[in-house]
Structures are given as C-alpha cells and as structure tokens.
A and B are shown apart, each in its own frame.
Chain A
C-alpha cells in the first residue's frame, strides 16, 4: 500500500516536471508570435485556375487544365486584405519577391521526401524576398487536396465538374495555406491551411469551396472572362482569409 502510494507520488511529480519542461521547450506559435513586431506578406495563390473533371468522367483521365487568371489580381487582393487584418497588431511592411518562384513550389508525391527536405519555402524566403531583417514573413501559397473518393487531386484556385449517373455538379475552390517564418532563423513559426467555410457542398474539401451553377462555368476555356466566377472566387478568399488569420492568432478580426 505504502509502496504504491510512493510510486503514485513519483509518477505525479514526473508528469508535472515533464509537462513544465515541454511547455518551456516547445512553445506554441502564439507564444513565439509575441516577439514579432514587423512582418512582410507574400502571396502566390492566384496566378492560375485549374479546371478539372471528377467522378464519372468517361474513359478520359485528363489531368486538370491550367488557365492564367493573373489579371484578376487575387494575390494583390490577398496581400491587401491580410495587411488590413494584421495592421492592428503588427507593423506590415511592403516586400518584393519572385511570385513565380513561390507559385512553382510543389510537394513531392513521396511523403518521406517532404519530411526529409524540410519546408520548401524556407530557402525562397531567404533568397527571393527583400528586404530581409523583418521579424517575420507571412507566406500564402496554394494548398492541395484529394477530391471525392477517387484519384482526383485539386490545388489552389479551381473549377471542378463532378459527374454522376444522374447529374453533374460544379464546384469552385480556393485552397491555400499560410506559413509564418521567423525572420531570423527562417523556421516555420506557424502553418495552417484555410479551413472550409459554412457553404453547403456535396463533395467536401478541406478548404474554402462552394457549389455553383452553370453560369459560373468557364465554358469556352477562358475563365478569366467570367465575371461571376471572378466574384465567387474573390468572395471565397476574402471570407476565408480573415477566419484563417484569426485561427492562427495573427489577427483578431472575428
């Protein structure tokens, strides 16, 4: 009896000590952000729109097609919206960067390779962004996800037609993730994908998405000319950005 009581006391002390040291060693992103005063914002999400088909696709297994939508200015919009959201807490400074280099980064399809090579944007933030020396850099880039239960993957800004036996449905998405890099060590302080919003969709995605009717369809293959599509994508980004920044403890906008 006495022995088990001693063991229990020892286990309790050990647990408390481990918890305390873990808290000290592995600070949360929120704790690390407390020291950040100046930030720069980089966005490389909105240069292209991917158009794809999923579900019953016939015998075609065409990969998604990519169309330029740079003239929509989505990246400038993202930087502007994020700057407004963050300005209360941080001093946001304009930065210049090679947007194409950030947009070109892809995860390896071999998961262990991603683990070994570390964050692919770290070197880009060090080499392609100026000025250096800010406390943190916020990098907003495309995210990727599986769509439905089959083989289709979707990325960034996109329009997808999902075919079933009885009907087909259109869905748009704006999948992106936000990283906060320490301006000195270039380690990732915080990373988060934009979460799904409350829009009703039949095929879920782990990011902002909504179902749309045929008037949003790029049809002729020129999505940049479709104003409905432009407005809908912009709305998805604007609504989700404030939520995501708030979830990352970067902005208190909700």
Chain B
C-alpha cells in the first residue's frame, strides 16, 4: 500500500497524482483541525482506572499527552539517486502530560537514553532501512535487490552547553547489509522565541565495506545485466553534509516543523558507476509536518 502511494508520488509521474496527494494531505489536516475546535489545552476526556496494576510497572493513571499529525519527506528515490519523491509520514507520540520531547535531529535513529546525566546521554539505538528493489526504479534494472535492514547499536550525545548538542551513533546492520555504520552530528539549537526554535549543524557518516558494498558495488553479473562497469565498493568515509530544522508551536495544541538535510556522498559510494553514471553524489531531503496534541486522563 505504501509502495503504491509512493509510486503515485514519484516526481516523474503526472501532476495529477501529486494533486491527489496534496488534496488528501489537506483533508487530513482539515480533519485534525476540526477535532481541534472541540479540544482545548485542558484534558479532553477521562478514561476509567485499569482493573489491575502490574508489579514493577509504573501506574498508567494520570494525565497523558497524545500527539497526532501528518508530515512528508521529499527525498532521493534511493541512496545515490538523482531523482526524488515525496512520501507521507504519520506522526504519533504519547507521553506523560507536561513532559517535553527532547531535541531530535531528522537523521537520528530511534533511541532510548538508559544513561542520562542531563548533559551526557547514552543508550541503545536502532534504524530501519527499507529494502531497495531493482524493479522499482529504471536506474536499478539489472542490479540485485537489497533486503530490508535493521541496524542496531548505540548512541551517545553530549551537550557542552544547553544549546549545543553533539551526537554519535554506531550501528550493526542485520538483513540487507551486515556492515557497521557510524553517524556523527552536531546541532546548534537556538530558541528565537519560546515558540520558535531553529537548529542546524554538520553531519558525517562512515560505513564499513559490508555496509557500502550491497548498495554501491556492481559485480560481473550485474555489470553484464546493466551495462555499467563492474565496481568493488569499499567502506570508509561515506558522506558529509549539513542539516537545519525549524519548529514553531502555534499554540499549546498545534506545532509545525520543517527541515532540510544535505549530504555529499564520499569515497566509493560517490565513485560507484551507479552514482557517477545514473545518479548524483548530492543528496537532499526536505521534510515538513504538522501535529496536534491533546491531553487525556486515566483515573
């Protein structure tokens, strides 16, 4: 289903599909807007207390904040591609009322801070990397499919001051690739006013040969099938770039955000014939989103 939607949104398709999606997006936002008319900053509804509580598990009673929304990413079809497409992304989170979401960069993996000194945090991190089907894009015809990858590892982040975050992640791939990926980033976080926050900073990614080769290597059979020269992609510095995001809280319920991330492929990823002959080393992702938050209570 998602694939069908994405295919319909491909930049090379007719404008009708894009208009259809935009209409759907506006309808979704309109629906959320209609809900907002009846909701307020106060508790929207109250649920009864659960019939039992589990030992060692914190009680669920109390106030909770639910955030729902819709967003979208305009990003390259695949890593190294020179064409991009727009993909809708649902936004959903639930947390204790009053708690604020920690700063999060668009490229951050999902993570949990098991060690939290405030200015120093660390814990497990994981990322889901979609499969790359050769049949989905003409540039990939003749190349093998790369299965879905789950990258598992850890993160560490350090705030020298409250407005500057540095973060590192190290992840091992399972599935489509079996290599190691390291991401480094830094973000200056500037609250312009309390409701408007800007952030920006540099990015760097290193990948091992086993993480690079499935996506950028071309073996003899693939070379025959694609007409591209064979290429033995090795690991190393993978990309360098920068990103920026802006978030604006319209009122206690509504928040909008946008971001742009640019990366320049390096090393064998940039030298691969897939990139030099059929793609681009310049990779840009643009994202937007709007979310609505409301509180509910469990007795």
Residue positions of A touching B, CB distance < 8 A: 19, 22-23, 25-30, 53-61, 109-112, 115, 145-153, 162-167, 169, 190-193, 195-196, 198, 202-207, 209, 247
Contacts and interface: CB of A to CB of B under 8 A. Distances in A.
A59 B161 contact: yes
A145 B116 CA distance: 11
Given A29-B53, A145-B99, A149-B100, A56 B163 contact: yes
Given A61-B162, A164-B194, A22 B52 contact: yes
A109 B113 CA distance: 10
B63 A61 contact: no
A67 to B, nearest CB: 20
A31 B295 CA distance: 26
B59 A29 contact: yes
A151 B187 CA distance: 13
Contact of A152 (B114, B118, B299): B118
A26 B53 contact: yes
B260 interface: no
Contacts of A192: 59, 61-62
Nearest to B196: A164
Contacts, number: 133
A202 B51 contact: no
Given A61-B119, A109-B116, A190-B59, A152 B99 contact: no
A211 B284 CA distance: 40
A26 B54 contact: yes
A117 to B, nearest CB: 12
Interface in B228-279: none
B16 interface: no
Nearest to A151: B159
A149 B49 contact: no
Interface residues of B, number: 45
Contact of A203 (B117, B119, B194, B299): B194
Given A164-B192, A206-B97, A110 B160 contact: no
Contacts of A150: 103, 159, 162-163, 165, 189
Contacts of B117: 109
B19 interface: no
A169 B194 CA distance: 9
A26 B54 CA distance: 6
Contact of A166 (B54, B163, B192): B192
B55 interface: yes
Contacts of B118: 109, 146, 151-153
B163 A55 contact: yes
Given A27-B53, A61-B161, A150-B163, A56 B191 contact: yes
A28 B163 contact: no
Q: In this complex, which of A57, A115, A198, A206 has the most chain B Cβ atoms within 10 angstroms of its Cβ?
A: A206
Given A23-B51, A203-B194, 18 more contacts: A26-B54, A28-B49, A28-B53, A57-B161, A109-B115, A111-B115, A146-B100, A148-B100, A149-B197, A151-B118, A151-B119, A164-B194, A195-B97, A204-B98, A205-B98, A206-B97, A247-B61, A247-B299
B99 A28 contact: no
Contacts of A195: 62-63, 97-98
A167 B193 contact: yes
Nearest to A118: B56
Q: Which 8 A-B residue pairings sit nearest by Cβ, starting from the closest?
A: A151-B159, A206-B98, A202-B194, A196-B98, A150-B162, A26-B52, A149-B103, A164-B191
Contacts of B103: 149-150
B107 interface: no
A203 B161 CA distance: 18
Given A165-B192, A166-B193, A147 B161 contact: no
Given A23-B52, A164-B194, A165-B192, A204 B100 contact: yes
A190 B51 CA distance: 15
A149 B100 CA distance: 7
A191 to B, nearest CB: 7
B58 to A, nearest CB: 7
Contacts of B159: 61, 150-151
